[in-house]
Structure formats: C-alpha cells, structure tokens
Amino acid sequence: MQGVRFLAVAALVAFAGCGGGGGDGGTTGPAVFTTLSVTPTSVSVVVQGTQDLTVAAKDQNGATMAGLTTAYQSNNVSIATVTGAGVVTGIAVGSTTITVNGTVGGTTKSQTINVTVAAPGSSASVNATTGLQFEPSDVTITAGGTVTWNFAGTAHNVTFNSAAPQGGNIATIANSSVSRTFATAGSYPYHCTIHGGMNGTVTVQ
C-alpha cells in the first residue's frame, strides 16, 4: 500500500513539473521578414499635391526590422508619379496605384497603394501650430481661391518669400485666423520670421 501511495505522489510531482511555469515559451527564433507596412494605406492628393509614403519591414512578432531597401513604381505616371524616396505627386485628375517593393536580405514583399488625384479646390486651411510647423506645409488651390491660416496659442507670422497675395504678409498673431485670396496662378512660398525652419507653400493653379 505504501508503494502504491509513493508511485501516485511521484506521478503528481512529475505532472506538475511538466505543466507549470511555461518553460522558455518566450523563445520565438530568429526574426523573419513577414510584413511590409506602408503608411498611408491609400493616398488622396490634388493635382500637383504631394504625399510622403513611410515604409517599414515587420517581423513575425510585429517588430520593425533593419536593413530594408525599397523601390516604388507608379502604374500610370500620367495620373501620379512617385520618387525613389516615396514621394507621390498628383499629375492629373484620376485614379491609379503605386507598387511598393521592400527587400530585407533575400526576401522581397510588395504592397499596392491606391492613389486618387482630385482637382484643387477654391479654399484651403493651414494650421500654424504650437509645435512650430505649418500643417499642411503645402496646399494647392485654384486661382481666385482663399487660404486661411489658423494660429494657436504660439504667436507666428506669414511672410511671403517674394510675390504676395492681396493683403500681403500676415503680421505676428496668436489665437486667431487670417485669410488671403490668391488671384494669380503661381507658387507662393512663405515662412515665419520668428521660428527658423517653419516654412510653407501655396500653389495656385
């Protein structure tokens, strides 16, 4: 009887040793290039508008991998083009796709991004942020259209680099909104004289 009792206890101890604690369940093996992540997943721009693509290689655990090389191809360059750095530019009204290829080691993954190009509107809005940025930094409108700058709690100004719209530069201001109408087609780069590197462009078509 004692021998039977001993065997039963030994079996329970062995079972507990096998089933408890999870062992080294954290071991997942070497990283494997599993997914090519492209942001944004679709692009909407106006004619002559641009959008940067951000690309990352992910392993089987969703972690970002190093050593990624990329290649981009527009499937209709008359609608939209894309640079080697992943900058999409709208060329004409319509729809197309961009193929993104990413390679890590000897493995290549691909993603297809839908691109829609629209005609520019007659108005646009730019936020002069407390983070010292004009967002978006580039806007496109039709001739005769209006851009409104929205100023938050940090004071900024809008100083045009050369040609300026009717009403001219916007003086330093905070917590307010100011608009300018652009009657003539062209490019109107501008900056904030208070904060270096705070730049933007209005394109008028």
pLDDT computed for residue 20 by the predictor: 47
pLDDT computed for residue 105 by the predictor: 93
pLDDT computed for residue 154 by the predictor: 95
**What separation in angstroms does the CA of 199 have from each of 155, 157, 164, 185?**
15, 11, 15, 20
Domain positions in the chain: 35-118, 121-204
Fold identical between 35-118 and 121-204? yes
CA distance 126 to 190: 12
Domain spanning 35-118, CATH architecture: Sandwich (2.60)
Statement: 121-204 belongs to CATH 2.60.40.420: yes
CA distance 200 to 133: 9
What is the DSSP track for 17-59? HHHSTTTTTT---S----EEEEESSEEEEETT-EEE-EEEEE-
Cis omega (within 30 of 0) for bond into 120: no
User: In this structure, what token pair is assigned to residue 186?
Assistant: 């062209």
pTM of the model: 0.64
pLDDT computed for residue 16 by the predictor: 44
**Residue ranges of the chain whose pLDDT lies below 70:** 1-28
CA distance 138 to 103: 31
pLDDT computed for residue 50 by the predictor: 87
pLDDT computed for residue 28 by the predictor: 63
